[in-house]
Amino acid sequence: MKIGIIGCGAIAHEIAKHRKDVVALYDVNSEKCNDIQGKTCKNIDELISLSDLVIEAASPSAVKEYAEKIINAGKDMLIMSVGGLVDKEFREHLFTLAREKGTRIYIPAGAIGGIDIIRSARIAGLKSARIRSTKNSKTLGIDCREKTLIFSGTAKEAIARFPKSTNVTVLLSIATGIDVQVEVYADPNAKENTHEIYLEGEFGTATITVRNRPSKSNPRTSYLAALAPLEVLNLIDSPVWVGV
């Protein structure tokens, strides 16, 4: 498998540390790609032509700009900036296009857990889903002296307000089929990014809590989020899938 990566930030660096099949890179700031293996491409078309699977690790706007072109080219795609899929009409268009082209779109669990529970529970029906996220106030650009609720609303509203910090809310909405209720807390003393998920359905109830250490190179990104695409790639390579 030949992997191309859009966006040469913390996630791209982590992937390249573990994978030897990264062959192509693209970033609007090409200098960010200098210390990553693979060819730095002049444009997105060159990257697509060299890759079997394209990983988007740049921004929600990159998903909107490049996803359709990648899928139309018959290439598989792994999307990290799930906020780019918040618009349901655009999202369903991409999913339909992937079916028509015979390609796959992979959306990693990122910084949260329990997606296996959600997939199973959704079959019988989910009644409600909500998530409470707490991050250090500096990473959210908030000035406060104690833990403070700074947002309450839907996932669609959350990603519009915090496009770089609430991708997990959109992921949870896609997984549950519900525009989940979101609370975001800023805490000046928080050393971890915490996500608390609450589910209710015909299966019963579930509470899932994940406390993530921030990525050293990008505190706004949880370290687990940088590892998640690696597990997807491992599953693609493996004949055995556990817990899926």
Active site residues per annotation = 195
For 91, the token pair is 């999202």
Strands 105-106 and 204-212: unpaired
Kindly give the interhelix angle for 115-124 and 167-176, rounded to the nearest 10 degrees: 30
166 and 155 Cβ atoms separated by less than 8 Å: yes
Beta bridge mates, 26 = 6
156 and 86 Cβ atoms separated by less than 8 Å: yes
Distance of CA 176 to the CA centre of its chain: 15
For 78, the token pair is 């792994």
Alpha-carbon gap, residue 217 to 63, rounded angstroms: 22
The type of residue at 49 is S
Alpha-carbon gap, residue 92 to 88, rounded angstroms: 6
Any alpha helices (H) in 19-87, and if so which ranges?
44-50, 60-72
